[in-house]
A and B are shown apart, each in its own frame.
Chain A
Amino acid sequence: MSQLKGKVWRFGNDIDTDLIIPARYLNTSEPKELALHCMEDADPTFASKVQPGDIIVAGKNFGCGSSREHAPIAIKAAGVSCVIAASFARIFFRNAINIGLPILESPEASSAIAEGHEVQVDLSNGQITDLTTGQTFQAVPFPPFMQELIQSGGLIEYVKRKMGTK
């Protein structure tokens, strides 16, 4: 599905992975359990109010800190359809691509889109539309190799193809 539409939840700069999923819940890697505590220390009510398809819009350096893949897993399992940020921390960036959580880098969209706005994202061309204001933004495109990874369905599918396993 290359078209996404959802309501925006806004977060600030340097949202670290401890805010996304606190380590006290890392004694499990069960996506549904992690989803219950998604963003808990940034907004304790987030998990109870987020709806399937909703979109997170954040500032710079989203996902900094630990390498825990539980962070993008929690966001994805909470029903969030994609994350738009001014920039992403590098391990989070890798992890999101590897597990198939769509992420878009756009400093302009990050500063312009407000909480509660309805936003549409076209993953095929990286276009972000704020339906509430009518503004459009172009996300930084992925290099061809990463597009191939995403189109393969994530790193595991890519490696399977490369290694000739099923």
Chain B
Amino acid sequence: MGLTMTEKILAAHAGKTGVEPGELINAKVDMVLGNDITAPVAIKEFAKIGVDRVFDNEKIALVPDHFTPNKDIKSAEQAKTLREFARKYGIVNYFEVGEMGVEHCLLPEKGLVLPGDLVIGADSHTCTYGALGAFSTGVGSTDMAAAMASGEAWFKVPESMKFIYYGKLPRWVGGKDLILYTIGQIGVDGALYRSMEFTGEAVSELSMDGRFTMANMAIEAGGKNGIFAVDEKTLEYVKGRSKRDFTVYHSDPDAKYVQTYEWDVSKLEPQVAFPHLPENTRPLSQCGDVSIDQAIIGSCTNGRIEDLREAAYILKGKRVNPNVRLIIIPGTQAVWRQAMKEGLFDIFLDAGAAISTPTCGPCLGGHMGILAKGERAIATTNRNFVGRMGHPESEVYLAGPAVTAASAILGKIGGPEEVGVK
């Protein structure tokens, strides 16, 4: 029986020739990630282990991105904990404000995650790196602490599911729409404990940015990881970023999948997830009349340059509706600079948008755009749980950058055609 690429990566890191779903393994990790919310807990736990150094000071990434630039005194203390730990243990990949970006935009951009890697991160959206053909998954702080000391983590080998997307994607339909549609079809626990492998013509056509968006939300279906085959686009992306060797793994033709979904997406509409679960998706034409107070473009899901270009294309020469606050948050410093160079900031500023420094900020209700009671936001983020962006009685609608930008102009949920963009 053949193996999936996920199984091959896990086996290679456990020093085995093969693994089977359900098997418990101990595996070596290539990168351990933490942020200003999860790492302070990990640092406390790390101290209890009683080692005087980390397993490898180049294989740990600490990114203060959630409540930074520090939103209050307590957050400042948490960020300080990270900084001091990084200094004490000589953590090479610590990114200070001014260098940092939203962690899952930043690590691939810096070439810190490569195809075939095994990565764990104390952040649920660590699954983003599956776009590069790596196995990556979110864990908690204690797992992070144990891995910082030992360089290993335990895993139950997941069963695999295959998702095949046929056809050419229509205009304004991208990675975000594909993953929202998928979650809408299978539910928020539709891939619980499982690996999600994304294939087919439509995803081959996606850019790396679109693939990052899809892999990012595997967790919203309960998935352990989301993964893509490595192709020329992947290799082109890592070229010039990678500073070490990597191995490309491919799924065998006779690899075992517990479930396979096949969808023709050539007529798929842009998707919007209604409150309060990402599975509550509707095609744009069936969204009805939903007025909004705020629009957010950014996050580890859609904070990359292509997302900003798409938003700028819609916003060019237009004004944000007077009832809406549009907040744009480039994912990293490099994305910020690129957007500035390309003149996207002029378009955003002319439209009446606010442009933020990179931060997770409002996505998890931290800062930089918190909702009041009864307010509604449309966002390119990944979760629309109760209270996610602020008051427990506020609402978040999830969509891609094009729909979010168009909605900001309209003052209600709508698409590019409704603002006259073709």
Residues of chain A at the chain B interface (Cβ within 8 Å): 14, 16, 18-19, 22-24, 26-29, 40-42, 60-61, 64-70, 73, 87, 89-91, 94-95, 98-99, 143, 145, 154-156, 158-160, 162-163, 165-166
Would you call A98 and B143 a contact (CB within 8 A)? yes
Q: Kindly list chain B residues whose C-beta atoms are within 8 Å of the C-beta of A163.
A: 49, 51, 149-150
Given A14-B188, A145-B24, A163-B51, residue A91 in contact with residue B387 (CB < 8 A):
no
Q: Give min CB distance, B381 to chain A, whole Å.
A: 12
Given known contacts A66-B124, A166-B50, is B149 in contact with A159 (CB within 8 Å)? yes
| Other-chain contact of A89, B141, B143, B150, B222 (Cβ < 8 Å) | B222
Instruction: Name A156's contact: one of B49, B66, B71, B364 (CB within 8 Å).
Output: B49
In chain A, what residue has the closest Cβ to B70? A27
State A149–B260 Cα separation when bound (angstroms): 34
> Given A23-B366, A67-B123, A89-B222: A98 and B140 within 8 A (CB)?
yes
What residue of chain B has the Cβ atom nearest to residue A29's Cβ? B41
Q: Please give, as numbers and ranges, the residues of chain A lying within 8 Å of B305 by CB-CB distance.
A: none
State whether A159 touches B188 (Cβ < 8 A): no
Determine if B38 and A18 form an interchain contact, defined as CB atoms under 8 angstroms apart. no
CB of B300, distance to nearest CB on chain A (Å): 12
Q: Which of A40, A65, A91, A159 contacts B140 (CB 8 A)?
A: A91
Interface residue from B41, B48, B154 paired with A70 (Cβ < 8 Å): B41
CB distance from A76 to the nearest CB of B (A): 13
Interface size range of chain B in the complex = 35 or more
Chain B residues within 8 Å of A19, by CB: 385-387
- The answer to whether the Cβ of B193 comes within 8 Å of any Cβ in the partner chain is yes
- Interface contact A155-B146, CB-CB below 8 Å: yes
Minimum distance in angstroms from B62 CB to a CB of chain A: 15
In whole angstroms, how far apart are the Cα atoms of A73 and B150 in the complex?
Answer: 23
State whether B222 touches A64 (Cβ < 8 A): yes
Task: Evaluate contact between A64 and B189: CB separation under 8 angstroms.
Answer: yes
A60 (CB) vs chain B CBs: closest residue: B189
Whether B192 pairs with A155 at a CB distance below 8 angstroms is: no
Neighbour of B49 across the interface among A41, A99, A145, A159, CB < 8 A: A159
Chain B residue, CB-CB nearest to A33: B74
Contacts of B146 in A (CB 8 A): 155-156, 158-159
User: Quick one: which of B50, B222, B224 contacts A160, CB cutoff 8 A?
Assistant: B50
Whether B45 is near chain A, meaning CB under 8 Å from some CB there, is yes
In whole angstroms, what is the CA distance A105 to B124 when docked? 22
B385 contact set on A, CB distance < 8 A? 16, 18-19, 65
Please give, as numbers and ranges, the residues of chain A lying within 8 Å of B51 by CB-CB distance.
163, 165
Complex Cα gap A118–B193 (Å):
31
Chain B residues in 8 Å Cβ range of A41:
386-387, 392
Residues of B within 8 A of A16 (CB): 383, 385-386
Q: How far is the CA of A23 from the CA of B383 in the complex (A)?
A: 12
B106: Cβ under 8 A from any A Cβ:
no
Interface positions of B from 198 to 242, Cβ below 8 Å from A:
219, 222, 224
Residue of B nearest to A44 (CB): B392
Subset of 12 A-B contacts with CB under 8 Å: A19-B387, A22-B365, A22-B387, A41-B387, A61-B189, A64-B222, A69-B142, A89-B222, A98-B140, A154-B142, A156-B145, A160-B49
